[in-house]
Amino acid sequence: MTMARAQAIVAEMRHGVAFTGAGVSTESGIPDFRGPGGVWSKYDPEEFAFPRFVANAESRRKYWRWGLEFYPQLVAAAPNPGHLALAELERRGKLQCVVTQNIDGLHQRAGSQDVIELHGNATTVGCLSCAKCWPREEIHARLVAGDDDPHCACGGLLKPRTISFGQAMPARELARAFELARGCDVMLVLGSSLVVYPAADLVPEAVEAGVKVILINLQATPYDEMVSVVLRGKVGEVLPRLLAEAA
């Protein structure tokens, strides 16, 4: 019944938007933060907040230790059927854009052309003082070689170009994401716990603008009651089925 309702909505979709979270990439082998076995079951999120990273060398070492685990997972990952289904929807002209909280670049690698990254991208590292950038690979090699708190030649701190808690969001990307949330006809909300703000506000923003919202997630979210349809399951399985049958 819920699947049939979701299929009817997708069949009518003309200028949809997808809003994705870490759950879209777990089937590619990249752990999420809050799902079972997620990163926060092993690390303290407070430790990774931006003010701590800047102030405390020990916090930076812990952050980079996690990076030593995370980056090889990112390099080894390939887009899964969820990422590929979104790229196909864009090619068919039904989806305008993917707005993602993910930092892994898998939507682009799957072929999605218009991707808004709200939380940056983990494949580049920047200096917090002089803004020089490096491919992550180079800094990863320094970590592997034993440099556990890498600095720039200018003395500045290095950090992946992702947005941590306490760090400013990219204003242009955020403004465009909210505009799309209000202006699309259907929003597909995929693999997000919807507890990270302001990104999660995109969902009530869309609902209040009259947009039909289909949510696919393994676990409950704070917005399940508000959206048009909730499909419980894996994005990489449920989304291709939804789209195939609604074509």
**Tokens 């938007």 -> residue:** 17
Q: How far is the CB of 151 from ligand NAD (least distance, A)?
A: 24
Q: How far is the CB of 145 from ligand NAD (least distance, A)?
A: 25
The answer to whether residue 140 is catalytic is no
Q: How far is the CB of 117 from ligand NAD (least distance, A)?
A: 9
Q: How far is the CB of 199 from ligand NAD (least distance, A)?
A: 7
- Closest by CA position to 35, among listed 192, 153, 236: 192
Please list, in sequence order, all residues whose beta carbon lies within 8 angstroms of the beta carbon of residue 147, skipping any fewer than 6 positions away: none
Cβ pair 16, 136 in contact under 8 A:
no
**Tokens 């701190």 -> residue:** 157
**Beta strand segments in 79-204, E:** 95-100, 115-117, 120-127, 133-135, 158-162, 186-190
Please list, in sequence order, all residues whose beta carbon lies within 8 angstroms of the beta carbon of residue 178, skipping any fewer than 6 positions away: 201, 202, 205
Residue with smaller CB distance to ligand NAD, 7 or 193: 193
Strands 133-135 and 120-127: antiparallel
Neighbours of 178 (CB within 10 A): 17
* Footprint on this chain of ligand NAD (rule: CB under 6 A): 21-23, 25-27, 30, 32-35, 38-39, 101-104, 119, 191-193, 196, 216-219, 234-236
Residue with smaller CB distance to ligand NAD, 54 or 218: 218
Residue with smaller CB distance to ligand NAD, 128 or 218: 218
Please list, in sequence order, all residues whose beta carbon lies within 8 angstroms of the beta carbon of residue 53, skipping any fewer than 6 positions away: 59, 60, 63, 157, 159, 164
Catalytic residue (one of 83, 107, 119, 140): 119
Residue with smaller CB distance to ligand NAD, 7 or 192: 192
Q: How far is the CB of 155 from ligand NAD (least distance, A)?
A: 28
H or E, element range at 217 = strand 212-217
Residue with smaller CB distance to ligand NAD, 15 or 192: 192
Residues with a catalytic annotation lie at: 119
